[in-house]
Structure 1
């Protein structure tokens, strides 16, 4: 169980930082052995950011994109060049200065191959009006309000094969948090943007909806709830209209939260239905029925993850760095 952090890469000149804690793969159930080797090495591939989130792999360019939320930037990582600046600004495009979580968060690629962004500062879901190989800070709003009221701060998204975009809208990107006087929607919603542009509220019952991902077949959807009082992952079925029905707890994180306080965050699900879910201590790994198989324990505040094109590599955003680990 000695999976040492290796390949340290400092993106920009900075004073030498303390050595990062050792990351290990922890087995909870024998089913983990079919997913990842318990001796797999977890390597830091980029470091020196402020708070990284929302990773997405772009297969055509063989690059990983990820948000540095506080700095209003997106970086890219390639095996040849490491991490370099990709896009600035990424989530806040207004002239008035502001602080806190102003940049992009969740990133995804739509069915046309375009980059779609959850933009905290601009409080919208937008698409970049440029090819992913030639990024430009030009954006078109896909959804900026519901019934005339501006969103809180779209956080994470999942795109269905028919082009519909499902996204979460907690208050984390508001400059003054949930009590921000600029807040216009009192609840934390989960929404769908149809190809027509119509926006539908799917649920307003979750206290802090965050990560979101479809299971294979797109008949069910998983949502992470980043609430210390209700640190749960919820599963919903989808009806023929694509609406959420039969909501229930997929995994109750209360017990693990008491030991290691960090709520559920981003989610990715592979083609076999295995769930990779950042939360307390690192990335939790569940089978399709909600059984905990194990954890990639990063010993860092872990926000999100993404697969390579062949799903043989998992990239992890954690605090100020990006890690990767081989999967089976």
Structure 2
């Protein structure tokens, strides 16, 4: 075979591979469902669920970093925090992320899950494998909480900062190698906790079977807790008292009847500046008014884990293997 012909064959094969790769990475997925005219004020008519990257294992915990204008998110099974930036694409930000032990991790979800920035901009993470909350800065890890009442957490999952500097976070057992039945489990419940600025950890509630996503309203008077239990797929709202404790919870959303009909369970949430709740759940990202009326849905067609607002007019969504974004007319709560 001549070198000339061989070159054309190679070029042709590369072109076919490129075309195949493009086919595997759709420009958009799913559809935007407009259930009430109010959604038109939040999402432009020409918006779509745009795919920015794919091929991940199971991504979670997106957070926008305004200082660098990029997004960080957790890819939990491979124990990595990933970075996406416009014009640069995806790169590894931190590896290992949620499990730093020397022995091989025997479970499925060793990595970080929820990520957030503290009031000074320092990245704070829920670590499944290490079973703690850490701050990550200057190449160092500082553990800020790993126990309640002398017992190790299950596997901290998601977190939200209060303007006081306190952190509310959830603690299901998803990061434990054997989940609920793990012999290393020390807590008798799956709790929601508050890590106070002085380092004290208080139990907020132990009434959830699988607490997961967590968020605060713009006025910080309402705490939302999602529960990823197929038998009780709910979001509960709690009134936050002046001292940071909460009152009796109220059912905000119940998606139990949809479980199994569409992919996903209640998981992460983002709150916009108007107080609307953008919550992942059965079907994708469900959009609610502050009163709990569903007005729209980003139907991804995938099990959708979390979402967050960037400072660039987009809602970023982690949906199984896909990192997506949707253009909106609103920004996240300050």
Q: Same fold (TM over 0.5)?
A: yes
Q: 1:119 aligns with which of 123, 127, 138?
A: 127
Q: Report the counterpart of residue 323 of structure 2 in structure 1.
A: 322
Q: Distance in 2 between matches of 1:289 and 1:313?
A: 23
Q: Distance in 1 between matches of 2:25 and 2:198?
A: 50
1:295 equivalenced with 2:297 (yes/no)? yes
Q: Report the counterpart of residue 252 of structure 2 in structure 1.
A: 250
Shift of 1:176: 1.0
SS at match of 1:163: coil
Q: Is the 8 A contact 1:237 1:247 kept in 2?
A: yes
Name the one with the larger helix percent. 2
Q: 2:92 aligns with which of 85, 103, 106?
A: 85
Q: Report the counterpart of residue 61 of structure 1 in structure 2.
A: 68
Q: CA-to-partner distance for each residue in 1:219-265, whole Å, 9 max, x for gaps?
A: 11111010111111100001111011121101121233353252100
Q: 1:237 aligns with which of 228, 236, 239?
A: 239
CA shift in 2, pair 1:19/1:86, >3 Å: closer
Q: Report the counterpart of residue 104 of structure 1 in structure 2.
A: 112
Structure 1: 5+ residue runs without aligned partners?
1-12, 131-135
Q: Is the 8 A contact 1:168 1:210 kept in 2?
A: yes
SS at match of 1:259: coil
Deviates more, 1:289-298 or 1:42-51: 42-51
Aligned residues: CA RMSD = 1.6
Q: Distance in 2 between matches of 1:72 and 1:186?
A: 27
Count of aligned pairs between the two proteins: 308
- Give the TM-score, by structure 1 length: 0.91
Q: Report the counterpart of residue 215 of structure 1 in structure 2.
A: 217
Q: Distance in 2 between matches of 1:75 and 1:263?
A: 23
- Give the TM-score, by structure 2 length: 0.89
4+ residue runs of structure 1 moved beyond 6 angstroms?
none
Shift of 1:19: 6.0
Q: Report the counterpart of residue 173 of structure 1 in structure 2.
A: 175
Q: Distance in 2 between matches of 1:316 and 1:261?
A: 15
Q: Distance in 1 between matches of 2:100 and 2:196?
A: 25
Q: Report the counterpart of residue 71 of structure 1 in structure 2.
A: 78
SS at match of 1:140: strand
Q: Is the 8 A contact 1:25 1:38 kept in 2?
A: no
Q: 2:227 aligns with which of 225, 228, 235?
A: 225
Q: Report the counterpart of residue 35 of structure 2 in structure 1.
A: 28
